[in-house]
């Protein structure tokens, strides 16, 4: 493993979806500061990755909300507790230490935590790969599944694959004038129907009209190379033509899919690819580790966001007792507790 930083914390939350964010909030009410790791580039989990603009009607107190709006509200709610977010990172290692703490590692850094909360939903969302013979050899050099550092694509012929908002946004960003503008941008999707907001599609149309972006409907079927360089891809079009599209870099944004990933290898008791928990505390089979949301299993389990909120609440209370067995455990309410209001910053804002 490359050299990494070590962060010492009382709580680490894996997953920044709605349930993970509410877990941070409930921990904050208990006076427990949390670090948060998520494989995506931003908070929101499934709400952002799969249905950012679709309606949600079953969130308490919100007759209607999109996934994007719910995420924003939850981020505002946790803001007083100043959680530290670590995006685009996936947990690769989990090991109990002699003092009972857990050493948790990503490729970028390590955490030493007393409690761990797995709010990973149905698993880590990872990019859908483009399956072509020989293509994987160019990963990280000419093949990318997430937008790399701007300078890596500056002045290059970039081919973007995908038909959803993320792909269209990236194509637009690369084509717009600026210090990191690509030399050319081609957007390829299997059909000429793109799934993006009206504003995004309008901007795309403007750039296409100005010859800043080329759009091609078709399926990539192969690659062309010269020496150790990827030079072009072959595209079959709906009218049965085969095009050779030259490129310097290939950015594949075909969406994401959930994979349980390393969680299955951590030795935690599981049932049908879900973590078994005690429904009184949402503790797993290992002391100090809790699981909330779609990743867990217990009698009567329902995969609903509102149920995950309930689970996060009880998990936070259980963790507070685990961290401080001598605590009184007296239930306090945000309506009347000066301590909770102080933690929320209410007094300072009056």
- Tell me: do 247 and 138 sit in the same domain: yes
- Tell me: do 261 and 250 sit in the same domain: no
Do 197 and 160 contact (CB within 8 A), yes or no?
A: no
- Tell me: do 245 and 286 sit in the same domain: no
- Tell me: do 120 and 133 sit in the same domain: no
Q: What percent of the chain has pLDDT over 70?
A: 95
- Residue 269 above 90 pLDDT? yes
**Which pLDDT score is estimated for 122?**
66
pLDDT in tens, 46-101: 888 777 888 899 999 999 999 999 999 999 999 999 999 999 898 889 999 999 99
Domain boundary among the residues 254, 281, 315 is at 254
Question: Which pLDDT band holds residue 258 (cuts at 50, 70, 90)?
Answer: low
| Residue 145 vs residues 13, 32, 88, 166: alpha-carbon distances, Å | 25, 35, 12, 11
pLDDT in tens, 212-233: 999 999 999 999 999 999 999 9
Q: What is the CATH number of the domain that holds 56?
A: 3.50.50.60
Three-class DSSP labels, 316-328: HHHHHHHHCCCCC
- Tell me: do 168 and 244 sit in the same domain: yes
Segment 110-129 shows an average pLDDT of: 85
- Tell me: do 262 and 121 sit in the same domain: yes
- Tell me: do 249 and 306 sit in the same domain: no
pLDDT in tens, 141-156: 999 988 888 788 999 9
Query: Per the confidence metrics, is the pTM higher than 0.75?
Result: no
Domain count, the chain: 2
- Tell me: do 183 and 219 sit in the same domain: yes
Domain extent at residue 133 = 129-254
> Looking at per-residue confidence, does 250 or 264 come out higher?
250
- Tell me: do 9 and 119 sit in the same domain: yes
Sign of CA dihedral 349, 30, 312, 52: positive
Q: What percent of the chain has pLDDT over 90?
A: 76
- Tell me: do 121 and 262 sit in the same domain: yes
> Looking at per-residue confidence, does 1 or 304 come out higher?
304
- Residue 290 above 90 pLDDT? yes
- Tell me: do 202 and 231 sit in the same domain: yes
**Which tokens in the block code for residue 255?**
């969406």
pLDDT in tens, 160-196: 999 988 899 999 999 998 888 999 999 999 999 998 8
- Tell me: do 100 and 16 sit in the same domain: yes
Domain boundary among the residues 219, 254, 289 is at 254
**Which pLDDT score is estimated for 1?**
43
pLDDT in tens, 7-33: 999 999 999 999 999 999 999 999 999
Residue 256 forms beta bridges with which residues?
A: 127
Q: Tell me what the pLDDT averaged over the chain comes to.
A: 92
**Which pLDDT score is estimated for 294?**
92
Domain boundary among the residues 222, 254, 286 is at 254
**Which pLDDT score is estimated for 46?**
82
């Amino acid at each position: 493993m490359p050299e990494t930083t070590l962060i010492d914390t009382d709580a680490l939350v894996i997953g920044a979806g709605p349930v993970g964010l509410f877990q941070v909030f409930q921990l904050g009410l208990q006076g427990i500061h949390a670090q948060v790791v998520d494989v995506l580039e931003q908070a929101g989990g499934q709400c952002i990755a799969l249905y950012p603009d679709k309606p949600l009607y079953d969130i308490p107190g919100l007759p209607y909300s999109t996934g994007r709006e719910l995420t924003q509200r939850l981020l505002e709610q946790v803001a007083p507790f100043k959680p530290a977010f670590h995006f685009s990172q996936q947990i690769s290692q989990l090991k109990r230490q002699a003092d009972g703490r857990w050493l948790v590692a990503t490729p970028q850094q390590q955490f030493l935590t007393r409690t761990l909360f797995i709010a990973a939903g149905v698993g880590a969302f990872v990019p859908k790969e483009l399956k072509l013979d020989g293509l994987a050899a160019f990963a990280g050099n000419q093949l990318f599944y997430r937008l790399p550092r701007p300078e890596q694509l500056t002045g290059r012929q970039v081919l973007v694959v995908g038909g959803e908002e993320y792909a269209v946004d990236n194509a637009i960003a690369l084509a717009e004038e600026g210090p990191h503008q690509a030399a050319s941008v081609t957007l390829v999707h299997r059909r000429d129907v793109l799934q993006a907001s009206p504003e995004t599609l309008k901007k795309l149309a403007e750039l296409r009209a100005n010859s800043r972006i080329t759009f091609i409907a078709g399926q990539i079927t192969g690659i062309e190379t010269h020496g150790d360089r990827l030079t072009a891809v072959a595209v079959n079009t709906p009218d049965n033509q085969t095009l050779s599209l030259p490129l310097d870099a290939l950015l594949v944004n075909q969406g994401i899919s959930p994979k349980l990933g390393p969680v299955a290898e951590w030795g935690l008791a599981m049932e049908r690819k879900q973590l078994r928990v005690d429904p009184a505390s949402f503790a797993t089979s290992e002391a100090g580790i809790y699981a909330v949301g779609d990743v867990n299993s217990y009698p009567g389990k329902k995969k609903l966001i509102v149920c995950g909120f309930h689970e996060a609440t009880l998990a936070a209370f259980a963790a507070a007792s685990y961290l401080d067995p001598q605590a009184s455990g007296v239930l306090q309410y945000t309506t009347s507790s000066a301590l909770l209001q102080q933690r929320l910053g209410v007094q300072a804002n009056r």
